[in-house]
Structure 1
């Protein structure tokens, strides 16, 4: 069915309203990117402080975590993973990219899996891959909502209990999950690169193995004053490991949210461009159809005028031919 002026006008109005929504979403996404990136930058300084504190602790105490880690891997060999995605759509391939990366990485991990998903969209993607999903968390909608989410993750996975146990006993290298101690914990999320580009990354958060401890112990101290731990070494180390776990989860979540909004911004920019092209097409058809209707009306007027003129001429000719 061919379009009419009224139907084209309705399409133009609908496209204009949709474009207004798209541009509002673009503005919200751009503003959100800024606050999440700022939170990551602010967190970097605190993360550096935690690393330096762990550096001092590992230099001054002898850790027996490697022996406990090796026993845990041999006896338990259970792997946990937390995958950060989104609750909402209009984010392009954001969820597919991180889910496929997590699926591919976890497929190479031996042992029993426990997977938590942050976001309904990525949860559905992981469920389609038949991964053993243990829990689902809602995606925070602001920087202030990240901290409660991290608290929920720590409680659900019992990370607080694990990290508060004595490191020498090896409990800090394990993650308790439904009475099962986990040998390894991985984080999967999208990390922003530049503009609207992001990449999926993974972070092995646990165990706190010898290589990780050695790297921290070898960190250069920023000043000439050599530090030392005041009070109990174990108590200080417990607190620093808890902060390390919290900061790592917070940063992963913030970077995932920044990537999500960058992906949404890119999707909205493409949608805005497509709507502009569609509106241009609609306006062109509208003006052509309107001009065509005007031409038809003018033709009807001219045809009517010519018909009346011809009729008048015929009558005048007939009157002239009548006999006197």
Structure 2
């Protein structure tokens, strides 16, 4: 009996320690979600401003609009930038993204090259037939996203200058109302006629149309750089928000399972203790009756 109660006590202590870890991780994930969601919301107004700047340039500087098209887009490579996670305990986060990437790219006539952001998603895609190339470390904070985006844009621009890139698609999980997240694919490059038509269909939010200074295309190029930067920054922030939402949900499930386990261990421990007490009482009563038999 003693060994059994000691074993249950050890299990209860281990479960209690694990419960404390899970609660801490849950609190960290909840805090991180808020941080990244605020970053995404803060980008919305700026992204709209960048789009309006591009709209003004494309309406006034039509010849310069050709500058935004990727060099060699008919013969270069197709790049897929895939955001995943560097850490575990995120549920189906990487599995969902890997399945979405494989399904989406299977319909492409050319074989794309995949750039991964995060070790976990890379390991998931390594067992597929996709061709993996560049890999990037996922940032652990809002401030580190800028460095990551800069690294990706440098790699893209290097290939563009050599005419070795035709298209860039960005895959990431995005927070959704009514569910934790859903995988999405965004066309980053080329900024071609289809992109221009969609942009010029926007309505200018004012009665007077703007006048673009420096009509040599430099203003347009500056807005294009900001457009690419904000697009990648927002994709990374949304992916990190989704990752922490998935981790929070996983921790909530783990906490519920631990609570149920602790409840079961507590019941078993008390039953075992009560059984031992009852046996001792029966032994005392039996001994008393042997010493003092009734007449």
Matched, 1:182 2:137: no
| Alpha-carbon distance between aligned partners in 1 of 2:76 and 2:2, rounded to the nearest angstrom | 66
Question: 1:77: Cα distance to partner?
Answer: 4.8
1:147 aligns with 146
Is residue 2:53 matched to residue 1:53?
Answer: yes
Residues 1:46 and 1:72: Cα distance change in structure 2 (over 3 Å): same
Q: In 1, distance between residues paired with 2:63 and 2:104?
A: 29
Aligned to 1:130: 129
Asked whether the equivalents of residues 173 and 183 of structure 2 are also in contact (C-alpha less than 8 Å), the reply is: yes
Deviation at 1:248, TM superposition (A): 0.2
Which structure's relative contact order is higher, taking Cα pairs within 8 Å and 6+ residues apart? 2
Query: How far 1:63 sits from its partner (Å)?
Result: 4.3
Task: Tell me how large the CA RMSD over aligned residues is.
Answer: 2.4
Aligned to 2:180: 197
Aligned partner of 1:100 in structure 2 is 99
1:68-94, CA deviations, whole angstroms, 9 ceiling, x for partnerless residues?
9699444x1520010000011111110
CA distance in 2 between partners of 1:34 and 1:287 (Å):
42
**TM-score if structure 1 supplies the norm length?**
0.85
Distance 2:65 2:105 in 1: 24
Q: Tell me, which stretches of 5 or more residues in structure 1 are unaligned?
A: 163-174, 318-324
SS at match of 1:8: helix
Task: Report 1:160-239 matches (<5 A).
Answer: 175=160, 181-194=164-177, 197-239=180-222
CA separation of 1:105 and 1:86: change in aligned 2, threshold 3 A:
same
Could you say which residue in structure 2 is the equivalent of 1:299? 282
Aligned to 2:255: 272
Residue 256, structure 1, aligned to residue 255, structure 2: no
Structure 1: how far apart are the matches of 2:107 and 2:230? 27
Deviation, 1:66, is: 6.8
User: Is this contact kept in 1: 2:71–2:163, CA < 8 A?
Assistant: no
Aligned residues: 295
Report the Cα distance in structure 1 between the residues aligned to 2:2 and 2:82, rounded to whole angstroms: 50
The structural deviation recorded for 1:27 is 0.6
Q: In structure 2, what is the equivalent of residue 10 of structure 1?
A: 10
Q: How far off its partner does 1:158 sit?
A: 3.3
In structure 2, the residue matched to 1:117 is 116
